[in-house]
Amino acid sequence: MIPFVREMSFAYGRCDRVSPMIRRVVARNPGPFTYTGTGAHIVGRGEVAVVDPGPDDPAQIEAVLAATAGERITHVFVTHSHLDHSPAARPLAEATGAVIYAGGARCRPSGGDDRLEAGDDLAFRPDVALEDGQLFRGPGWTIEAVATPGHTSNHYAFALHEENALFPGDCVMGWSTSVVSPPDGDMGLYMRSLERIRARRYGALFPAHGPPIRRVDPFLEAYIAHRRHRERQVLEALEAAGPASVRQIVERLYADHDRRLLPAACHSVLAHLLDLFRRGLVDASGAPDMSALWRPSFMRHAA
């Protein structure tokens, strides 16, 4: 079981200090993908960085400006171009002269299911496209860009060296698992990103939604084990039942779940199948997509 953390003390528009160097302002965009809303994190004092400013909401932009009154925002970092993270970046940069950094624009829609994602911000363009490992410095703070694709292809996390802390965006969330929806979402890359974050042994994670994760190691261990367990279940379902569609696998694995969860489950199972397909563990009839019939690969059985 994942030791989810969901207790959160906040008020919309209020600035809360969540660590010695980090303050947070939560936007009023609660929902099924955002929990209580998007937390914009402010790093440092005097000359500050903002991570994930939030949705296109003048109240959120005003709240971040009010929280940093008398200071200067020099850097705006965006984890990925979903509508609950990136749209406030440009107005905030225009109001302050800050530079916007992110993992590159995504000009074509993800093709994912709108009911499963907060939606693509196709208009988003960073001023500077990040490279993995890039370092940024302000007075008393050092932020490192950490490529963490999977939830989206352009997803970055940001490490604050002075506190051994990470802003994982939507890659790791304390209140929920993350949506990995093909074709832009990629389960193989996502699992590598989780392993990468775990290997770095951060002391605390500050996700874009929900409260901080302060017991990082056990949380990530369970978070990763949950996905590996799901992957095994998908393989076992194919081995037991023979060729099956995504829908049939989902009917089997999620038989006693709320029917409303089934569309999301289909995308998640497809993400696992595509990863297994690339690793040579399953085959698909025709194009490997939602309409294919899937079966365990011959190689696997011969081995």
Contact positions vs Zn ion (CB under 5 A): 84, 170
Query: Taking the chain, what is the end-to-end CA distance rounded to the nearest angstrom?
Result: 32
Q: Which is nearer to Zn ion, 173 or 270 (CB)?
A: 173
Least gap, CB of 32 to Zn ion (angstroms): 11
Q: Which is nearer to Zn ion, 87 or 288 (CB)?
A: 87
Contact partners, residue 170, CB within 8 Å, separation at least 6: 79, 80, 82, 85, 151, 155, 178, 179, 207, 208, 209
The C-alpha atoms of residue 65 and residue 57 are separated, in whole angstroms, by 13
The C-alpha atoms of residue 261 and residue 181 are separated, in whole angstroms, by 14
Least gap, CB of 122 to Zn ion (angstroms): 16
Backbone conformation region of residue 175, classed left if phi is above 0, alpha if psi is from -120 to 50, else beta = alpha
Q: Which is nearer to Zn ion, 26 or 292 (CB)?
A: 26
Q: What angle do CA 100, 33, 98 make, to 5 degrees?
A: 10
* Contact call for residues 103 and 131 (beta carbons, < 8 A): no
Least gap, CB of 34 to Zn ion (angstroms): 6
The C-alpha atoms of residue 260 and residue 266 are separated, in whole angstroms, by 11
Least gap, CB of 52 to Zn ion (angstroms): 8
Least gap, CB of 200 to Zn ion (angstroms): 22
Q: Which is nearer to Zn ion, 121 or 283 (CB)?
A: 121
- From the CB of residue 206, how many other CB atoms can be counted at a distance below 10 Å? 29
Q: 246 φ, ψ to 5°?
A: -55, -45
Q: Which is nearer to Zn ion, 85 or 295 (CB)?
A: 85
Q: Which is nearer to Zn ion, 30 or 183 (CB)?
A: 30
Least gap, CB of 271 to Zn ion (angstroms): 17
Beta-bridged to residue 43, according to DSSP, are 22, 49
The C-alpha atoms of residue 174 and residue 179 are separated, in whole angstroms, by 13
Catalytic residue among 52, 84, 170, 186: 84
**Residue 186 annotated in active site:** no
Under DSSP, is residue 257 helix (H, G, I), strand (E, B) or coil? Answer: coil
Q: Which residues are catalytic?
A: 84
